[in-house]
């Protein structure tokens, strides 16, 4: 696409954008009685206006039916989570039987590790990207300790080459091959939270399986951001939150994927709860756990109805927009941001983009490594009505999302960034 650094070009792109109307389906934060330029959907997505209606429906049931809300009406709480399954599966490229919405991300990660990190003999190691999100690091550390290993011995971290900011796929695959006899699990982020790099999940999964390891992904920054094909890629399991690109509220619910080949494998250990038990016998209150088919068999407790209702409102929008369409716009929008930042011609001693240049290797986010007065630059942007994200020690993450951000906002951001840079 031939971009231009002027306002009329940006406005023309917005006029031609078939998804532009979705912006009106969200509340835009106000700063000084003006719409903020909100480029922080990678931390918390904006609230869909339809959320209130979905919440009100469930509050009405609670007020008027109380406990009978579990079984009353067309959408009883007993199986409310099922209303989300098909749409959730479409977002991540899965079969409905492979997906369930429940709990929160790190809880679900631990549940998956209980089932799929099964060290035995010399095959006890876990491969992860260096600098993974801390929650993943802590989960892996404590899981290895739980099995009697020292994290430094059991966890293999893959870091970028010296002088580089992102991982080369060939280095990940080679590390898998080099440790094939000892790997029990490959567990990586689908997108690195810090750099915004999208990993080649299909190639990583293939290499992990060839090495005899189980392969799982944390998709916190990938779900609702990039097109996923978890079933087709043969991924064993995945977990994700829904409050970032999927716009489902602070601390919102989480999604789980378990490949269908594991659906009815009774040999897989798991931590069980009554909501994962055979639904036909659940209220018989008998001993003897019989898991439901597929990912639902990993449920523990009855669904958290209000978070599920919020997420359902968002999924309705995703189904209407379509992930392929959102991704197409995202590549153009992020590409325009990249073009405008490049056009600033800021010296690398001041500002450097550390997100991959290849559109296929990134999502909505561009990470800017600020080498002079990083916190001061961040503060100036925030004072200028731009909401972005700061990560220690000196990275500003900028994430224009296709559901509610515009080309004009990207253009205005570049102008303000230019004014705020410490060195022209």
DSSP structure string for 384-407:
TTEE-EEETTTEEEEB--TTT--H
Pick the CATH number of 55-319 from 3.40.50.150, 3.40.640.10, 3.40.50.300, 3.40.50.360: 3.40.640.10
Predicted confidence (pLDDT) at residue 31 exceeds the cutoff of 90: no
For residue 73, what pLDDT is reported?
A: 85
Instruction: Evaluate if residue 35 carries a pLDDT over 90.
Output: yes
Q: Domain 7-35+324-420 classified CATH 3.90.1150.10?
A: yes
pTM comes to 0.96
CATH 3.90.1150.10 domain extents, the chain: 7-35+324-420
pLDDT at residue 196 is higher than 80: yes
Residues 346-368 have a mean pLDDT of 95
The pLDDT score that the predictor gives to residue 44 is 98
- The residue written with tokens 């209000």 in the block is 306
- pLDDT class of 283 with cuts at 50, 70, 90: confident
Whole-angstrom Cα distance, residue 338 to residue 345?
12
d(CA 49, CA 27): 6
Comparing 98-102, 297-301, 346-350, the range with the smallest average pLDDT is 346-350
Whether the pLDDT of residue 424 is over 70: the answer is no
For range 240-247, the mean pLDDT? 98
pLDDT 10s digits, 387-409: 999 999 999 999 999 999 999 99
- pLDDT above 70 covers what percent of the chain? 99
Q: How far apart are the first and last CA of the chain?
A: 27
What's the whole-number mean pLDDT along residues 322-340?
98
Provide the mean pLDDT of the chain.
96
pLDDT tens profile 103-159: 999 999 999 999 999 999 999 999 999 999 999 999 999 999 999 999 999 999 999
pLDDT in tens, 82-96: 999 999 999 999 999
Residue 270 has a pLDDT of: 94
Q: Is the dihedral of CA 379, 380, 381, 386 positive or negative?
A: positive
**323-346 mean pLDDT:** 96
Q: How many CA atoms lie within 13 A of 366 on its CB side?
A: 25
* Pairing of β 351-353 and β 254-258: unpaired
Percent of the chain residues topping a pLDDT of 90: 92
| Residue in 245, 242, 241 with CA at minimum distance from that of residue 226 | 245
In the numeric block, the tokens 């189904």 are attached to: 319
The pLDDT assigned to 423 comes to: 55
Peptide bond into 393 cis (omega under 30): yes
Taking residues 259-273, what's their average pLDDT?
91
**Would you state the structure tokens that stand for residue 284, as one six-digit string?**
């018989």
Q: How far apart are CA 26 and CA 248, in angstroms?
A: 12
Residue 167 and residue 189 in contact, taking contact as beta carbons nearer than 8 Å: no
Please give the Cα distance from 205 to 201 (Å, whole number).
6
Confidence class for position 347, pLDDT limits 50, 70, 90? confident
């Amino acid at each position: 696409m031939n971009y231009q650094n002027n306002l009329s070009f940006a406005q023309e792109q917005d006029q031609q954008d078939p998804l532009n109307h979705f912006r009106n389906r969200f509340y835009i934060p106000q700063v000084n009685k003006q719409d903020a330029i909100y480029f922080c959907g990678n931390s918390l997505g904006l609230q869909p206006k339809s959320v209130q209606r979905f919440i009100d429906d469930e509050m009405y049931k609670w007020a008027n039916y109380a406990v009978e809300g579990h079984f009353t009406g067309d959408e009883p709480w007993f199986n409310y989570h099922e209303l989300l399954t098909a749409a959730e599966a479409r977002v991540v490229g899965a079969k409905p039987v492979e997906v369930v919405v429940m709990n929160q991300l790190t809880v679900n990660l631990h549940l998956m590790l209980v089932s799929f990190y099964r060290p035995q003999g010399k095959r006890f190691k876990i491969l992860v990207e260096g600098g993974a999100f801390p929650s993943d690091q802590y989960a892996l550390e404590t899981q290895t300790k739980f099995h009697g290993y020292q994290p430094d011995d059991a966890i293999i971290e893959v870091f970028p080459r010296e002088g580089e900011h992102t991982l080369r796929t060939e280095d990940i695959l080679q590390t898998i091959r080099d440790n094939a006899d000892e790997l029990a699990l490959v567990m990586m982020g689908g997108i690195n939270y810090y750099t915004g790099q999208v990993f080649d999940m299909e190639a990583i999964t293939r290499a992990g399986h060839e090495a005899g390891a189980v392969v799982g992904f944390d998709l916190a920054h990938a779900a609702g951001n990039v097109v996923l094909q978890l079933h087709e890629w043969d991924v064993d399991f995945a977990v994700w939150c829904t409050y970032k690109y999927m716009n489902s509220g602070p601390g919102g619910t989480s999604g789980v994927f378990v490949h269908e080949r594991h659906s009815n494998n009774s040999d897989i250990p798991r931590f069980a709860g009554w909501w994962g038990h055979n639904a036909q016998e659940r209220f018989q209150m008998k001993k003897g756990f019989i898991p439901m088919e597929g990912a639902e068999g990993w449920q523990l407790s009855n669904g958290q109805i209000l978070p599920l209702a919020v997420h359902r409102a968002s999924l309705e929008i995703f189904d209407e927009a379509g992930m392929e369409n959102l991704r197409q716009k995202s590549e153009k929008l992020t590409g325009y941001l990249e073009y405008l930042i490049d056009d600033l011609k800021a010296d690398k001693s001041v500002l450097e983009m550390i997100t991959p240049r290849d559109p296929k290797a990134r999502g909505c986010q561009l990470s800017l490594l600020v080498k002079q007065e990083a916190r001061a630059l961040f503060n100036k942007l925030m004072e200028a009505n731009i909401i972005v994200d700061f990560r220690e020690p000196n990275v500003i993450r900028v994430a224009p999302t296709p559901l509610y951000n515009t080309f004009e906002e990207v253009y205005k951001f570049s102008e303000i960034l230019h004014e705020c840079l410490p060195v022209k």
